[in-house]
Amino acid sequence: MSLKTAVAAPFRQRGTDRMAESEFVVALSLDRNWFSPDQAKTLVDVAASEGLVERDDDDLVVAFDATHTDIPDGFTPGEEILQSRSTFERVLDAVVEAGIEKQTAVAGINALQSDIGVTLETAAIVYARSEGVDVEAIAADVREEL
C-alpha cells in the first residue's frame, strides 16, 4: 500500500517511531519533494484516520513497524493516497497486501455478502479474518462508528 509506504519513509529515514508533525511534513514535502506542505498535512490526517499514525501533542507516533515496510527504489506516492478510503477499500488493500489476488478477494467478499446478507464492509472484514488477515484496527473503527 503506497499510503503505508509514504508514512513509513520519514520514520525510517530518521530511524525513529516518533517525530514532530512539522518534521514529518518537512520530510515529505522538502526532503523528498513528494507533496506540497499542505498536501503533506492532508496525508497526516488521512494516515491518522486510518490508524497508521497517532497524534501525541505535537508529535506523530507511527502505529506499525515502519522498519519492516519496504520502500522500493524510485518510489513516489501518487496524490490518490491523500483521499480517505472507504472501509471496504481499506480491508481490500490489507487482503491484497497479504498476498491474495484482488479479483479473488472481491469475488469472495461478494459471495460472502450474498450468502450471509450483510453489508459489503462487514463481508470484507469477515472474509479478511477467514483468510487470516489482521483487520482488527479497521473492524474496531467500524464498531466505533456504529
Do residues 101 and 78 share a domain? no
pTM for the model: 0.70
Domain that holds residue 52: 3-82
Nearest to 18 by CA among 46, 51, 53: 53
Cα 2 from Cα 5, distance rounded (Å): 5
Do residues 92 and 70 share a domain? no
Instruction: Please report, in tens digits, the pLDDT of each residue of the chain (146 residues total).
Output: 589 999 999 999 999 999 999 999 999 999 999 999 999 999 999 999 888 999 999 999 999 999 988 888 889 998 888 887 888 988 998 899 899 999 999 999 999 999 999 889 889 999 999 999 999 888 887 777 66
Do residues 77 and 92 share a domain? no
Q: Which of residues 43, 66, 82 is at a domain's end?
A: 82
Q: Kindly state the helix (H) or strand (E) to which residue 56 belongs, with its residue range.
A: strand 53-56
The answer to whether 51 and 90 have CB atoms below 8 angstroms apart is no
Do residues 28 and 67 share a domain? yes
Q: Which of residues 66, 82, 98 is at a domain's end?
A: 82
Instruction: Give the total number of structural domains in the chain.
Output: 2
Do residues 9 and 76 share a domain? yes
Do residues 70 and 115 share a domain? no
Do residues 141 and 100 share a domain? yes
The answer to whether 34 and 82 have CB atoms below 8 angstroms apart is no
Do residues 45 and 114 share a domain? no
Nearest to 27 by CA among 42, 18, 14, 38: 14
The answer to whether 79 and 39 have CB atoms below 8 angstroms apart is yes
Looking only at the bridges linking them, the beta strands covering 18-20 and 59-62 are antiparallel
